[in-house]
Amino acid sequence: MSKKITKFAERLRALRGMRSQLEMAAFVGGVTQAAWAQWEMGARQPKLDVFAYLCEKLGVHADWLLGLDDTPQPAKPTIDEQLALLKAQLGETSKSMEGIMEQISRLEKEREKP
């Protein structure tokens, strides 16, 4: 078993704390107790999509869970970063809405033709 797999297993156990494996599997959702146990023993690793979901659900940074970093939680985006992201999303939404309105207009014109 590699060091990284051992670290992953250790960190899963730490996240579980006093909960049972069954309780953790139920909390995460979509995971069986047997799968959780195998991960903790280092016998198996979750698929990539499940791993990403675990990180999100457990609120930890992927690098931390893998043992690549000692910071468990990702840094919270600054207000400026959040504003920039929202403005970018709004811009994309506006462009999408314009395109939809153009399509509606085109279809209404086609409908009016004999």
Comparing CA positions, the residue from 62, 49, 65, 63 lying closest to residue 15 is 65
pTM confidence score: 0.59
Q: Are residues 87 and 57 in the same domain?
A: no
In this structure, is residue 19 part of a structural domain?
A: yes
Give the lowest-confidence range in 10-14, 26-30, 72-76, 86-90: 72-76
| CA–CA distance, 63 with 71 (Å, rounded to integer) | 8
Over the stretch 82-111, which tens digit does the pLDDT of each residue have? 777 777 777 777 777 887 888 888 888 888
In this structure, is residue 62 part of a structural domain?
A: yes
In this structure, is residue 13 part of a structural domain?
A: yes
Write out the residue range of the structural domain in which residue 98 sits.
76-114
Q: Are residues 80 and 58 in the same domain?
A: no
